[in-house]
Amino acid sequence: MSDKEEIKVEPKEGEGESSEKRLFSTQDISDIQKKLEEEVDKDMKEKEDSPLETEAVQEEASGEETAEAFEDKIEKAMEKIVADTAGQDTGDSGRGEPSSAQTEKPESASSAQEQKTVQKPAQPRPAQKAPVTYNYPRPSAAQRAIRAGSQVTIQKPKKRSGKALKIAGVAAAMVVVAAGCVYGAGTYYFSNKFFVGTSINGLDCSMKTAAQVEDLIAQKVEDYSIDVKTADQGDQSIEGSSIDYKYVPDGGIQTLLDKQKPYEWVKGFFEPSTYSAEENISFDENKLKEQMLSLNCAKEENQVAPENAYVAFQDGQFVIVPETQGSMLDETKALQALEDAVSDSKTEVDFSKLDVYQKAAVTKDDPTLQATLSECNNYTKASITYTFGDQTEVLDGNTIKDWLQFDENGQFVKNDDALKQKITEWVAGLAQRHDTLGSSRSFTTTSGNTITVSGGEYGWQINQSEEVNQLFNEITTGQTVSREPLYSSRAATYGPPNDIGSTYIEVDLSAQHMYYYQDGSVIFDSDFVSGNMSYSDRATPTGIYSLYYKKSPDVLRGKALPGGGYEYETPVTYWMPFCGGVGFHDANWRSSFGGDIYLTNGSHGCINLPPSKAAELYNIIQTGVPIVMFY
């Protein structure tokens, strides 16, 4: 029996007026009552177990007016049932008078049992179609009496607050049914639409179909442009329309929608979904390249080439000058970066933060450049101080730096031959500045005359080949030294006024007299006979010389003859050479010296001395003493 089952008694077909006045038996009432009790019991059990009862209690106050109205309907239905079955007058004039045996409402189950059955109750009128919801408690004593077959007057049940709970339960059930309908409708609705709270590529796609989402993406694409940031030329933009930029659907949005489970549509209100879908974009790469090349940063006049790091000499040492970046684009890299950004629908690309500019081939951290720096500084830390008496000359990094070779990238090129050539050239200059061998000198004679003496074999002369090798070793090992050059010829002093000093031999060929000065004082003098002026090849040479050595005794020999032997062979006791085969020696075959003997009866070129003077000179002369020869 449903909650709103109608109770209606229809007259049977063929029954007349008497049928309408038929009295319901106790069994009939019992059957009806039993059915009502079973439904009430079932309903009560369901409501007791249902959690909706609590909600019904909470809603009792708000639904009180509705419950009261519904209860009134129940009461009226119950009154009618009682009146129809017990024969009581409900107040309707059409139903006839009640019997003399009036039925009173029992106070208890025992009073109900004592009442007599009405013999001829009024025939009940057909019941109006009114749905009745029954909410009865457990069977009372009166109800049990009816079941036992006694004729009783049914007492109308009292109102209970539990009725509101039952009605609230019915309302809740209706809400559940309504909710189920909404849920089903939502499932159907979202079978081809994205849930509420769905975002794809930053676009709100709530309750939109795949086609509508693709339209949104296409609209966004229509207004596409990309800003290009550069290192030194500001920002410029490329419009999507200039490169035929457009969206080409590829089914990716539909794939996302297909993965959505429509029956989970409620989740969208509580758990927003964010998706990243690949936007299938197409554009003209050639037009994009044209647009890039038209940017200020790509114009030739605005591009500065990078410069390599290099080694430079600053403040007495080599240092690395860092590379400069420049602003010259690497077109291939720049175009690739731009294509990638456009393909990803990015609205900005910053060239200054990307590897799109041409780089210096050599950076300050380049290992080879660091090694170059170390090697160069090793060369240039060499310092050689040359001493020339009281004078000095320094060779250091300021000069050496110019002897090192570097390639176009600033890398040091080690070339020993080239370095040695530079050293050779420098040593030759050093010799030119300081060599005095064979040079002209101002000289003051014993007679007080100041003359210029040129030629000879005396003076300073650097041994250039040996000096080059020594200097190369000192530079490449970074040495710091102070020394004289390596000489092939030495003088007595460095001057001033000249390198002759105060100890020397003065030979006046015109006066045919010689003087030996030691520390400025004459310690020896003598007449002599020089080379015979009658023969051009026998004249005694002029210039400044120094004593090679001295030997006693010795044999003087002339030129070797073709057939063997020599032009002459003359034994001497004292031999002191200073210019090739020319020297001082004793001449015991002469009886006189000085004067003009040399003009016609001179020697082969040597200085002939009296034997005693030759012996005296031999004993005091020192190897290397300067010998000044002049006319």
Q: What is the mean pLDDT of residues 268-284?
A: 87
Residue 389 sits in a domain of what CATH number? 3.10.20.800
Report which of 554, 604, 549, 558 is spatially closest to residue 578, judged by C-alpha positions. 549
CA distance 276 to 199: 8
Q: Which of 139, 173, 207 is the last residue of a domain?
A: 173
Beta strands in 60-121 (DSSP E): none
Which of residues 12 and 547 earns the better pLDDT score? 547
Considering just the CA atoms, what is the radius of gyration of the chain in Å?
70
User: What is the pLDDT averaged over residues 303-332?
Assistant: 88
Q: Say yes or no: 49 and 126 in one domain.
A: yes
Contact 43, 3 (CB under 8 A): yes
Same domain, residue pair 453 and 525: no
- Between 440 and 93, name the one with better pLDDT: 440
pLDDT of residue 74: 45
pLDDT score recorded for residue 43: 53
Indicate whether 556 and 612 sit together in one domain.
yes
Kindly state whether residues 57 and 137 are assigned to the same domain. yes
For 103, residues 6+ apart whose C-beta sits below 8 A from its C-beta are: 86, 87, 88, 115, 118, 153
Q: What is the CATH number of the domain that holds 582?
A: 2.40.440.10
Q: Which is higher by pLDDT, 185 or 86?
A: 185
Q: Are strands 554-557 and 543-546 parallel, antiparallel or unpaired?
A: unpaired
The answer to the question of residue 294 being in a domain is no
Name which of 271-280, 426-435, 602-611 the model is least confident about: 271-280
29 and 142 together in one domain: yes
Structure confidence at residue 162 (pLDDT): 67
Amino acid at 262: P
| Together in a domain, 623 and 525 | yes
Which of 456, 489, 522 terminates a domain? The answer is 489
- Give the model's pLDDT for residue 48: 53
Q: Which residue has the tokens 């239905």?
A: 77
Average pLDDT over residues 191-208: 92
More confident site: 465 or 56: 465
State the pLDDT at residue 278.
80
Whether 546 and 466 map to the same domain: the answer is no
**Is the pLDDT assigned to residue 610 strictly greater than 70?**
yes
168 and 209, same domain (yes or no): no
Average pLDDT, the chain: 80
Asked, for residue 334, whether it belongs to a domain, the answer is no
pLDDT at res. 498? 87
Residues sharing a CB contact under 8 Å with residue 96, sequence separation 6 or more, in sequence order: 21, 122, 123
Query: Residue 311 — pLDDT band, cuts 50, 70, 90?
Result: confident
User: For the chain, what percentages of helix, strand and coil (3-state, to nearest 5) are there?
Assistant: 35, 20, 45
Residue 335 pLDDT level (bands cut at 50, 70, 90): very high
Between residues 587 and 121, the one the model is more confident about: 587
Q: Is the model more confident about 347 or about 180?
A: 347
- The candidate with the shortest Cα–Cα distance to 405, out of 381, 427, 377, 376, is 376
Query: Does residue 17 register a pLDDT over 60?
Result: no
Banded pLDDT at 118 (limits 50, 70, 90): very low
Segment 84-94 mean pLDDT? 42
Domain count, the chain: 4
Instruction: Give the mean pLDDT of 122-131.
Output: 44
Of residues 213 and 135, the one with the higher pLDDT is: 213
In a domain, 323, yes or no: no
Same domain, 126 and 26: yes
Asked if 212 and 244 sit in the same domain, the reply is: yes
Could you tell me the pLDDT band of residue 144, with boundaries at 50, 70 and 90?
low
Burial class (CB in 10 A: 0-12, 13-18, 19+), 616: middle
Show the CA angle centred on residue 109, arms to residues 108 and 112, nearest 5°: 95
**149 and 23, same structural domain?**
yes
The answer, as to whether pTM is greater than 0.85, is no
Whole-angstrom Cα distance, residue 554 to residue 62? 157
Whole domain around residue 254: which residue ranges? 198-286
pLDDT, average across residues 33-58: 51
DSSP per-residue string spanning 504-537: EEEEETTTTEEEEEETTEEEEEEE-B-B-TTSTT
Residue 620's pLDDT band (boundaries 50, 70, 90)? Answer: very high
Residue 264 lies in a domain: yes
Is position 451 within any domain? yes
Q: What is the per-residue pLDDT across 415-469, written as a single tens digit (0 to 9) for each?
A: 999 999 999 999 999 999 999 998 999 999 999 999 999 999 999 999 999 999 9
pLDDT band at 13 (very low <50, low <70, confident <90, very high): very low
Mean pLDDT within 68-89 = 47
The pLDDT of residue 500 is above 70: yes
**Assigned domain for 533 exists:** yes
More confident residue, 48 or 117: 48
Q: Where residue 131 falls among pLDDT bands split at 50, 70, 90?
A: very low
Last residue in a domain, options 157, 173, 189: 173
Residue 60 lies in a domain: yes
* Same structural domain, 472 and 509: no
* Sign of the C-alpha dihedral computed for residues 162, 132, 87 and 139 taken in this order: negative
Q: Does some domain include residue 190?
A: no
